[in-house]
Amino acid sequence: MLLILAVSVIAVNIWQKNKDSVIATSLSKKADISVDTNLLSYNGENYRRKSYVKAILVLGIDSTVDMHYIQDAGSGGQADSIGLIAWDTNSDKLNMVIIPRDTMADIPVTDLNGNIMGSTLQHITLAFAFGDGNEISSDFMKESVSKLFDGLNIDNYFAMNTSAIEKINDAVGGVDVVIPYDGMQSIDKSFIKGDTVTLKGNMAEKFLRFRDTSKDFSAMERIEAHKEYLRAYQQKLKQFKGDSIIVDILNDIEPYSYTDMQKDMILKLGACAISDDDFDEEKIYVLEGENKKTELYDEFYVDHDKAMNKIIDLFYTKE
């Protein structure tokens, strides 16, 4: 919350600088100037978006409230985990790009009343916090991720908060994971590096949310746990036939999730996750870049060329 207040102060200072840009944008809309978001020019090459590959933004929010209630700016939680799914609807294959929560990006900022003040370079996790805890927050995240990847159009989003973790985990009878790094035994004595543990009940939340905040860049280390859980969960999900398990999960987490996806689309995506035999750790790409320690916070700066090479490979074809 203190960080959000600090950024709100920054927003007031940058408002005047952004005013001309806002006016220009408004004028271009009135003049019906359109930009083809399916086209990308990068490093002297032209690319066209693959229409059959959907970009689905998946967000894990560090909040426990009913996500269908409007929250005040700063009260709806932050995007503690951020993943961009590349869903090839022709082959029904999945890839995922993980965006570290401390990624420095151009995000929208508001005052405490929710009025948009402009944008600034800040931790991308905060883009969600500046919204209303559901639709506006998710739109802020879509905008920020799109800008991070040079205007990549994000087709849909699915956000869920901490209260959904146990329900999703236990719906498949628990998940078998390999403990990825030392130190996790401090929250559960069974979490010993290299051991296989079946996560049940609140163990799943412990596993996914633990980080040693006394260490620099602990959020980056925690991504290893997220990757392991994604791999293990998909393996467990594959044991189920049909879409009834997806329907049950959606019903269980309904208060703790928010999405702009139609139910039939979610069911198709779930069926893809069940049937994709090629999804493994190699299909989960974590953005590369540089970690920097400031006086107060960890910051992560994306290697833009490496990120765009991956985005182009997943979502575009050369013209």
Alpha carbon distance 50, 85 (integer Å): 14
Which residue in 42, 44, 82, 45 sits closest to 61, CA to CA?
82
Selected residue with higher pLDDT from 242 and 38: 38
Selected residue with higher pLDDT from 10 and 95: 95
Instruction: Check residue 35 and give its pLDDT.
Output: 59
Question: DSSP for the chain?
Answer: -HHHHHHHHHHHHHHHHHHHHHHHHHHHHHTT----TTEEEETTEEEEE-TTEEEEEEEEES--S-TTS---TTSS--EEEEEEEEEETTTTEEEEEE--TTBEEEEEEE-TT--EEEEEEEETTHHHHTTTSSHHHHHHHHHHHHHHTTTPPP-EEEEEETHHHHHHHHHTT-EEEE--STTGGGT-TT--TT-EEEE-TTHHHHHHH---TTSTTHHHHHHHHHHHHHHHHHHHHTT--SSHHHHHHHHHHGGGEEESS-HHHHHHHHHHHHH-TT-SGGGEEEPPEEEEE-SS-EEEEE-HHHHHHHHHHHHEEE-
Instruction: Check residue 230 and give its pLDDT.
Output: 96
- Per-residue pLDDT reduced to its tens digit, 142-177: 999 999 999 999 999 999 999 999 999 999 999 999
**Predicted TM-score (pTM) above 0.95:** no
The amino acid occupying position 303 is D
**30 has a pLDDT exceeding 50:** no
- Per-residue pLDDT reduced to its tens digit, 233-282: 999 999 998 889 999 999 999 999 999 999 999 999 999 999 999 998 89
Instruction: Check residue 117 and give its pLDDT.
Output: 86
